[in-house]
């Protein structure tokens, strides 16, 4: 059985969602998990969840003879990758970083500052009209430069217009929640990433 399939079956069998698998230099195997999405509920992975998955994966990977030296199981953190249709449903309305596989390839419309060669965008994820029978999404943003601390903004100045770009999941190279940290004391939507890190003694 392929390593990805083994890990996914183990993680989902324990009641969690597999977000990502990464192999890095030095034999590190990094597995990212999350709670399955339930509309209207906000659940977070904690250290106990990571330890539970770590113990089970250590056993399964030993049985399978997987080659790794260290296993790390963690929650997605504030820059969680978005891959499936369900991920996009779950995080609609959130600020995301989006990279397309190819440049948008269209000339900028009147009043737009979007270059035809642009592939990277940061904006709010929104549902859009379906395209060619596939679920449609759009990213909405403004080119308004951020206000620097202490900077005064004229009340007469008109804000930059909102811009939108429609896309389907097939056109995406990478999409992640934008790693924005809130320093104003409001409750952040993403919590600190718990991690269980172990070294394979074999």
CATH code assigned at 73: 3.30.300
Residues 26 and 56 in one domain: yes
pLDDT value of residue 186: 40
Residue 183 pLDDT > 90: no
Residues 97 and 24 in one domain: no
Residues 114 and 65 in one domain: no
Overall average pLDDT of the 135-159 stretch: 76
Number of domains in the chain: 2
Range of the domain at 131: 85-177
Residues 90 and 59 in one domain: no
pLDDT value of residue 146: 67
Residues 60 and 10 in one domain: yes
Token couple for 70: 């260290």
pLDDT tier at 182 (50, 70, 90 boundaries)?
Answer: low
Overall average pLDDT of the 123-138 stretch: 83
pLDDT value of residue 106: 58
**Contact predicate 195/72, CB 8 Å:** yes
pLDDT: which is higher, 31 or 148? 31
Q: How many CA atoms lie within 13 A of 174 on its CB side?
A: 12
Residues 161 and 195 in one domain: no
Residues 89 and 163 in one domain: yes
pLDDT value of residue 188: 44
Residue 196 pLDDT > 80: no
Residues 193 and 136 in one domain: no
Overall average pLDDT of the 124-131 stretch: 86
Give long-range contacts, CB 8 A cutoff, 24+ apart: 82-89: 82/175, 82/176, 82/177, 83/19, 83/175, 85/135, 85/169, 86/37, 88/125, 88/135, 88/137, 88/169, 88/175, 89/37
Residues 74 and 89 in one domain: no
Residue 10 has a CB neighbour count (10 Å cut-off) of 19
Residues 172 and 192 in one domain: no
> What pTM does this model have?
0.72
Return the CATH number at 140: 2.30.30
pLDDT value of residue 103: 87
């Amino acid at each position: 059985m392929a390593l990805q399939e083994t890990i996914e079956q183990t993680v989902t069998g324990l009641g969690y969602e597999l977000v990502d698998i990464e192999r890095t230099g030095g034999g590190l195997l990094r597995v990212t998990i999350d709670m399955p999405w339930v509309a209207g509920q906000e659940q977070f992975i904690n250290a106990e969840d990571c330890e539970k998955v770590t113990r089970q994966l250590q056993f399964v990977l030993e049985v399978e003879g997987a080659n790794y030296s260290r296993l790390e199981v963690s929650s997605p953190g504030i820059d969680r990758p978005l891959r499936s249709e369900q991920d996009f449903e779950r995080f609609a309305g959130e600020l995301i970083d989006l990279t397309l596989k190819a440049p948008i390839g269209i000339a900028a419309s009147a009043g737009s500052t979007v270059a035809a060669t642009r592939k990277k965008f940061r904006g709010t994820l929104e549902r859009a009209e379906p395209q060619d029978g596939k679920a449609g999404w759009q990213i909405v943003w403004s080119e308004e430069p951020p206000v620097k601390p202490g900077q005064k903004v004229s009340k007469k100045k008109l804000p930059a217009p909102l811009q939108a770009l429609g896309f389907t999941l097939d056109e995406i190279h990478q999409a992640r929640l934008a790693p924005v940290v809130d320093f104003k004391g409001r409750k952040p939507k993403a919590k600190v990433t718990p991690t269980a890190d172990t070294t394979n003694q074999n």
